[in-house]
Amino acid sequence: MKPLRTWLASAAFAATASFFSPSLANAACAIEGSGEVNVITNFFPTLELLAAKMKECAKPGLKVEVKLTTEMKTEIPRAFEAASSPFDGAAVANSSIVQLQSKGQLMPLNDLVAKYKDTYKIEDQMLIRFGDDIMAVAFMANAQILYYRKDILEKHGIAVPTTYDELLAACEKLKGDPEVDHCFSAAYGNSWELGNEFIDIFVAMGGQLADPQTSQATFNGPEGVATLELMAKLAGYMSPNALAIDFGGVKQEMQQGRTAMAFLWGDIAASMDNPEESKVVDKVGLAVAPKAKADGAISTLFWWDGYVIPKNLDGDPDLTFQVMMEAIKAETVTENNDITLWLRSNYKPTKYADAIVKSVEAGAPPFPMTPQVDLAILALGENIGDAIAGKESAQQSLDDAAKAYTRAATDAGYLK
Amino acid sequence: MRTGTFLGFVAPSVLSMLLLIAVPLVGVVYLALYQSHVKTEMVEVRTKVPLFGGLSRDQVSYVPQAVLDEDGRPIRVWDYVGMQNLAKASEIDELGRILTKPRDEASLPDMIDSMYRDITNLDFWSAFEFTMIYVVATTPLMLAVGFLLALAVNRATEQLKGSLIFVSLLPMIVTPVVSSLAVYWLFLDNAIVATVLRELGLGRIYFLKDAVTIRILIIAYGVWYAAPFAFIILYAGLQTVPKESLEAARVDGATRWQAIRLVTIPHLMPLFAVVVLIHLMDAYRVFEPILVFNSRVFASSLQYLVYIAMSFEDNIHRAAAYAVLTVIGIVILLTPVLISTWREQRSTP
């Protein structure tokens, strides 16, 4: 009986503690005002932390709800185009903001930023501007970088590849090493991710996705073919299942020591050294993305994540803004310095952020923020797999993608 | 029964069917006949994007911007497009072009092969191809598996029956997305199945790498998922098979197989028809394994197209058009089964 009693007692204690904790937490969050704030965000560790921070602002009379969902790409546009949005705020990124901004669904935040600039120490480098309008307040940055096994490259005397040609040559050398299942891994499984991988290389090849004046697809030209042919070559050194393996799977292959190099988002670098989930602690090095052409740019794009408020919210924008700013205030960054790449100036870059910093210094451009590109990603992701699988030529796949893009852009009213 | 009483009894179900089936269906058809988008104009916009470490970068580009009304709300344009969405979704023009395109392949099989490849390169027709393969392959297999399960459980001892039925029903209880994920995780690189096969000396097998294995996997999943339904219906049916007829058959010297073939199966025929009918409807809407297995390069489905149009292209009208095409497909698919059932119903006194 004793264990049961102990268990009951601790359960009771936990319940009491959680009952009192909101009032304790309120000491940290000092928001005046009452009402209800609903925020929808994507689902990854940093956003989970920020969601918890927002919820700490809840008190009698002020209800704070945060919906964390990977389906935000579907849910946010639905909510923001309705007569009234059940969500008063949302976390978005480069590509997801454009569909909302171009449809005029976002509230300019200039007044709120001016009002609370001092209270929350909102820094200029956190503001996303479209023309004169501040449309989002960003808090973190991200870019895809090259993860590599230091021990394996050293064993073969291979230098860290700086171009994709060097990477292919390195993979050729690693063939037959029993330690390596597959030389390279990248997220080719999920449509969106596959399209994104294409765009990373394509932009570095000097390509332009769509004509800026007419919105016509231009990704099926020679740069596109070169990009896709390179991707097919890379796929040759990946798991034969690569077209069915998404980002989570690639991360796992790296952590399980099955692959020598991988192209992954920079913000998860620390997870390679987490002994609870990784078998390759201290063995993984980080480098900027390889160049697509020897004399060209590195093949990666720069991303940010930030908060927006829709025009059609059913709550109070002032209150919503305060709750969101409360979550990303300077103290949050100080207390959680290592979990991501914060944009605030009090962030102290860690060794995990180094490769992203170098990417910026090397001139990685921001992911193009136009709604046409958002449509192009999916058109590409849905169609170029055929060429990578060897079912058809690169040109034919790209023409199929261009056709799908044209259809979608016409329906969206961008193409006449 | 008096008409009044009859109407009183059926009214609730008629009403709920109208509300939950007819109204949404009409709504989908309505959506499929229109096309709408936010009115935009190309504007030169300077975007300022923060970069890491206090740097930021300006980008000037032409971006479509919403045209706002006097209240500052975006204007949404609705156009009646008639059959245009359906024609575009079913890619009927492209299909026509492919069928009439002159081909210079030497032999007829080569010609058909190249034509088939062109057709299955179209989004809709490639989705249709695998949807039909899935329907045709899973239907007999799930009937067979379900029936064998029912026969086996029927012969088990009374104490075992309860747990056997429960275990057999598990695939039906688990949410399809979850069970698809479980199967996907079983067959990934270095997952249990691949590892066991490697340890057995069969080498590395990659199940998700080409059309044949990935399709077999999805079909096997489909059978595993659908068989319990056939099982439970047929098992219930087995309880009604008259013992006298079975005994008589055995007395007349029929083997067990003959008894099943000549007594049990004819007795269960109406149930087989019901199971097939419902499974056809279900199988035609295959979606979860396609999404979860990331199999779109090798196996797509009509419902997957609905999902893509809806959640990525953000185009509810195209999604509705695919949905209408799905409904039409199901109706065509069910017609022969319905006709034969109706004939049977009429012939039995």
CB B213 within 8 A of CB B207: yes
Q: Find the domain containing A228 and state its range.
A: 142-302+355-411
How distant is the alpha carbon of residue B318 from its chain centre?
Answer: 18
Q: What is the pLDDT of residue A2?
A: 39
Same domain, A211 and A360: yes
Same domain, A85 and A185: no
Same domain, A219 and A112: no
First-last CA distance in chain B: 21
Residues of B in contact with A128 (CB under 8 A): 47-50
User: What ranges in chain B are assigned the alpha helix state H?
Assistant: 3-17, 23-32, 84-90, 92-100, 108-119, 123-155, 158-173, 176-187, 192-199, 211-238, 243-251, 256-259, 265-283, 288-292, 302-311, 316-347
Q: Is the pTM of this model over 0.80?
A: yes
Q: Is B341 on the interface with A (CB under 8 A)?
A: no
Q: Is residue A370 part of a domain?
A: yes
Q: What is the pLDDT of residue A47?
A: 92
Q: What is the pLDDT of residue B349?
A: 56
Q: What is the pLDDT of residue B24?
A: 94
CB B298 within 8 A of CB A389: yes
Hey, are the CB atoms on B73 and A77 less than 8 Å from each other? no
Same domain, A136 and A261: no
d(CA B178, CA B170): 12
Interface of B with A in 229-288 (CB under 8 A): none
pLDDT band at A19 (very low <50, low <70, confident <90, very high): very low
Q: Is residue A311 part of a domain?
A: yes
Same domain, A199 and A288: yes
Write down the mean pLDDT value for chain A: 88
Same domain, A108 and A153: no
Q: What is the pLDDT of residue B23?
A: 95
Q: Give the count of beta carbons closer than 10 Å to the beta carbon of residue B264.
A: 21
Angstroms from B22 CA to nearest CA on chain A: 24
Angstroms from B82 CA to nearest CA on chain A: 14
Q: What is the pLDDT of residue B233?
A: 95
Q: Is A127 on the interface with B (CB under 8 A)?
A: yes
Interface of B with A in 118-137 (CB under 8 A): 121, 123
Residues of B in contact with A246 (CB under 8 A): 294
Q: Is A354 on the interface with B (CB under 8 A)?
A: no
Greater confidence (B344 vs A108) lies with A108
Is residue A390's pLDDT more than 50?
yes
Hey, are the CB atoms on B64 and A73 less than 8 Å from each other? no
CATH of the domain at A25: 3.40.190.10
Same domain, A166 and A258: yes
pLDDT by residue (tens digit) across A217-240?
999 999 999 999 999 999 999 999
SS3 (DSSP) at A33: coil
Residue whose tokens read 């896709």: A228
Residue B40 has its nearest CB partner, among A102, A365, A369, at: A102
CB B299 within 8 A of CB B211: yes
Same domain, A96 and A64: yes
Mutation target vs A (from B33, B45, B63; most A CBs, 10 A cutoff) = B63
Residue A125 has its nearest CB partner, among B56, B61, B308, at: B56
Q: Where does CATH 1.10.3720.10 sit in chain B? A: 123-347
pLDDT band at A23 (very low <50, low <70, confident <90, very high): very low
Hey, are the CB atoms on B311 and A73 less than 8 Å from each other? yes
Q: Is residue A416 part of a domain?
A: no
Is residue A304's pLDDT more than 70?
yes
Angstroms from B6 CA to nearest CA on chain A: 43
The CB-side HSE value for A370 (13 A sphere, CA atoms) comes to: 27
Cα B96–B97–B103 angle (5° rounding)?
Answer: 120
Is residue A12's pLDDT more than 90?
no
Q: Is B191 on the interface with A (CB under 8 A)?
A: no
Q: Is B47 on the interface with A (CB under 8 A)?
A: yes
State the architecture of B123-347 in CATH terms. Orthogonal Bundle (1.10)
Q: Give the count of beta carbons closer than 10 Å to the beta carbon of residue A288.
A: 25
Q: Is B2 on the interface with A (CB under 8 A)?
A: no
Per-residue pLDDT of chain B (349 residues; tens, 9 = 90+): 688 899 999 999 999 999 999 999 999 999 999 998 888 888 888 887 776 666 677 777 778 888 888 877 788 889 999 899 999 999 999 999 999 888 887 888 889 988 998 999 899 999 999 999 999 999 999 999 999 999 999 988 888 888 999 999 999 899 999 999 999 999 988 888 888 988 888 888 888 888 899 999 999 999 999 999 999 999 999 999 998 988 898 888 888 889 899 899 999 998 999 999 999 999 999 999 999 998 888 999 999 999 999 888 888 999 999 999 999 999 999 998 888 878 877 876 5
Residues of B in contact with A141 (CB under 8 A): 50-52
Same domain, A189 and A315: no
Same domain, A135 and A242: no
Give Cβ neighbours of residue B206 (< 8 Å, ≥ 6 apart): A239, A240, A241, B189, B194, B213
Mutation target vs A (from B31, B294, B307; most A CBs, 10 A cutoff) = B294
Q: What is the pLDDT of residue A135?
A: 94
Angstroms from B14 CA to nearest CA on chain A: 31
d(CA B33, CA B283): 26
Is residue A25's pLDDT more than 60?
no
Q: Is residue A6 part of a domain?
A: no
Residues of B in contact with A341 (CB under 8 A): 52
pLDDT over 70 percentage in chain A = 93
Question: What stretch of H or E contains A403?
Answer: helix A394-411
Is residue A86's pLDDT more than 90?
yes
Domain count, chain A: 2
Please choose, from the candidates A374, A381, A339, the residue with its C-alpha nearest in 3D space to the C-alpha of residue A186: A381
Same domain, A280 and A397: yes
d(CA B287, CA B277): 19
SS3 (DSSP) at A365: coil
Same domain, A127 and A217: no
Please choose, from the candidates A230, A355, A234, A181, the residue with its C-alpha nearest in 3D space to the C-alpha of residue A285: A355
Q: Is A75 on the interface with B (CB under 8 A)?
A: no
d(CA A125, CA A139): 9
